[in-house]
Amino acid sequence: MPEISRRAQSLGTENAFVVLAEVNALAREGRDIVSFCIGQPDFPAPGNVQEAAIRAIREGKHGYTASAGIDPLREAAAKYLSALRGGLAIRPEDVVVGAGAKPFIAYAILSTTDHGAGDEVIYPNPGFPIYESQIAACGAKPVPLNLREERDFAFDPEDLDKALNAKTRLLILNYPHNPTGGLLSRKDLEAIAALLRKYPQAWVYADEIYSRLCYAGEFFSIAQLPGMAERTIICDGASKTWAMTGWRIGFAASAKLAPAFTRWITNTDSCASQISQWAALEAVTGPQDSVERMRQSFLERRDLIVRLLNEVPGVSCRVPGGAFYAWPNVTEACRRIGARDSEELRKRLLHEAGVAVLADIHFGARVPGEGQHLRFSYAASNQAIEQGVARMADFIRKNTKKAA
């Protein structure tokens, strides 16, 4: 039997989908599970977006498009990305449309590093697991940049200064952040930009997919700072803002790298779904009232889940500044019930309490000295939040007695 490659064997995954499959299997067995494990809005795509997709189907827009996307969407996305980033100069030809934002992670790494050359990519830890997975798969060296709870899960610029060197080819920034909900302030970004001026060979991949889900002031991009636009790859998309995760539409903007991204798409997907592109055009250019309603709902849920988690024995939770994730510290809860770590707690919560969450190890190696954490996606109803956190609290109280 032929063997698969070492690259394929070592390729990482996104554990949210692994846990979701486990949750679905338990649900099919009749188990009652409250799930906080998947990171997608629990709202339908706006009605006008749905109608635009139906219209595209009926008008026969079924075929391939140019690999970079349909011209009206590239133009609209350029205006949209610019308006959200202080009027930053972004041309339609700088924008490439992909089958979701996720493929641009690989395209960016492939376009800025060479396989086996010792090129380094710095990424946030904890972080979206595909960053580390794709860096390694593309033959570059992953360099984790640890996030600190005392900084509301931003990183210390001094740590970045230590990580940067002549081999650095790409710095990945994600804000608002998955899995912690943390933000990078303008002051943080100015400090980062100042450090990068010493390393002109290093690109920045600004994963800004949650840009419309900021709760602490206006969103600000590192690309808005002097000298940063030409070296920053801006990545955004339709998934989180308009509840279009399964429609698979993302945007990347970079004047220099747009042609390379287009060739990668030609070599992989050919193009994004034409139907989804026309729907995304309506999302970007149409009424935005549904976006604000979703944002307000997520903000209310954030306040609810943070308050409830901080009432759970042995749990403390910082207030996330954006996205729809809470990242509570469960170090004391693990100690109380005799759980070895957050992963054991996660498994016991699922199988004994019917609560599905993700553990910190699903988002990279634990940061030394930072304790144990779980990720809750609060893209769930208020009722589910109340019920799920109550189950967790009851589980810890009951098992604390047993451990004692």
Residue 206 lies in a domain: yes
Whether 317 is in a domain gets the answer: yes
- Same domain for 230 and 341? no
Contacts of 219 (CB under 8 A, 6+ apart): 84, 85, 208, 211, 212
- Amino acid identity, residue 304? L
- Please state, rounded to an integer, the average pLDDT across all residues of the chain: 96
* Any domain includes 52: no
What number is the average pLDDT over the span 368-396? 97
| Predicted pLDDT of residue 359 | 96
Mean pLDDT of 223-227: 97
Same domain, 235 and 92: yes
**294 and 281 assigned to the same domain:** no
Are residues 343 and 269 located together in one domain of the fold? no
Clarify whether residues 26 and 149 are in a common domain: no
50 occurs within a structural domain: no
Answer yes or no: is pLDDT of 114 > 60: yes
What is the average pLDDT across 97-112? 98
Cβ–Cβ under 8 Å, residues 86 and 224: yes
Q: What is the pLDDT of residue 403?
A: 58
Q: Residues 262, 68: contact at Cβ < 8 Å? A: yes
Q: Determine, yes or no, domain membership for 43.
A: no
Please give the DSSP secondary-structure letter assigned to residue 350: I
Instruction: Assess whether 378 and 281 both reside in one domain.
Output: no
Of 247, 270, 285, the residue that ends a domain is 285
- End-to-end C-alpha distance for the chain, whole angstroms: 53
From 317, 328, 338, select the one nearest 358 (Cα to Cα). Answer: 328
Last residue in a domain, options 240, 269, 285: 285
pLDDT in tens, 310-357: 999 999 999 999 999 999 999 999 999 999 999 999 999 999 999 999
* 57 falls within a domain: no
Q: How many domains is the chain built from? A: 2
pLDDT tier at 19, thresholds 50, 70, 90: confident
The CATH number that applies at residue 218 is 3.40.640.10
SS (H, E, C) 112-162: HCCCCCCCEEEEEECCCHHHHHHHHHCCCEEEEEECEHHHCCECCHHHHHH
Residue type, 7: R
Q: Specify whether 127 is located in the same domain as 13.
A: no
* The two structure tokens encoding residue 311: 């009432």
Any domain includes 68: yes
Asked whether residue 182 falls in the same domain as residue 237, the answer is yes
Q: In this model, does residue 238 exceed pLDDT 60? A: yes
Domain end point (choices 223, 256, 285): 285
Which of 306, 321, 311, 292 lies closest to 376 in space, CA to CA?
Answer: 306
Q: Which helix (H) or strand (E) holds 171?
A: strand 168-174
Determine contact, residues 262/96, Cβ cutoff 8 Å: yes
C-alpha 231, offset from chain centre: 21
How big is the chain, counted in residues?
404
Which of the four pLDDT bands, split at 50, 70 and 90, describes residue 6?
Answer: confident
Tally of CA atoms within 13 A in the half-sphere of 329 that contains its CB: 15
Answer whether residue 249 shows pLDDT above 60: yes
Query: 55-100 pLDDT, tens per residue?
Result: 999 999 999 999 999 999 999 999 999 999 999 999 999 999 999 9
Given the structure tokens 């492939």, which residue do they identify? 110
**pLDDT higher than 90, residue 380:** yes
Q: Is residue 55 part of a domain?
A: no
Residue with tokens 């050919």: 270
**Domain hosting residue 125, numbered range:** 62-285
CA-CA distances (angstroms) from residue 15 to 38, 129, 271, 359, 388? 9, 8, 27, 9, 20
**Which CATH number characterizes residue 24's domain?**
3.90.1150.10
